[in-house]
Amino acid sequence: MNWPDLSLGGYGFYVWGSYLFALIAIAWEVVSLKQRRKSIGRHKTPERTPPSVIRGSANETTT
């Protein structure tokens, strides 16, 4: 096992910067999904809507 030195041979800014960006991107995605889920309603589960109603509404808005 090799223990890398934190400066990574002078490339630390680029390497750690890359992984920091990755961490921020993943954290942003997870947090934004949590907020989206929260805004819909925490314990909301979908109820069955008659397919005819859904089809009817789609036709109504497309024509």
Partner 1 sequence: MNIYKYASPINFYPLAGKLIPWFAIPAAVLFALGLFVGFFIAPTDFQQGDAYRIIFIHVPAAWMGMFLYILMAAYAGIGWAFNARLSSMMASAIATTGAMFTFLSLITGALWGKPTWGTYWVWDARMTSTLILLFLYIGFISLQASIDDPRRADRAGAVLAIVGVINVPIIYFSVQWWNTLHQGATIRLLQKPTIQGSMLYAMLIMLGACWLYSVAVVLIRLRCIILEREQNANRLVEAKA
Question: Per CB under 8 A, does 53 bind partner 1?
Answer: yes
Positions 9 through 28 that interact with partner 1 (CB under 8 A)? 9-12, 14-15, 17-19, 21-22, 25-26, 28
Question: Per CB under 8 A, does 62 bind partner 1?
Answer: yes
Distance of CA 43 to the CA centre of its chain: 20
Beta-carbon contacts of residue 16 (< 8 Å; ≥ 6 apart): 8
Instruction: List alpha helices for 1-63, DSSP H.
Output: 12-40, 51-62
Distance of CA 17 to the CA centre of its chain: 21
- Binding residues (CB under 8 A) for partner 1: these are 1-4, 8-12, 14-15, 17-19, 21-22, 25-26, 28-30, 33, 36-37, 40-41, 44-50, 53-54, 57-58, 61-62
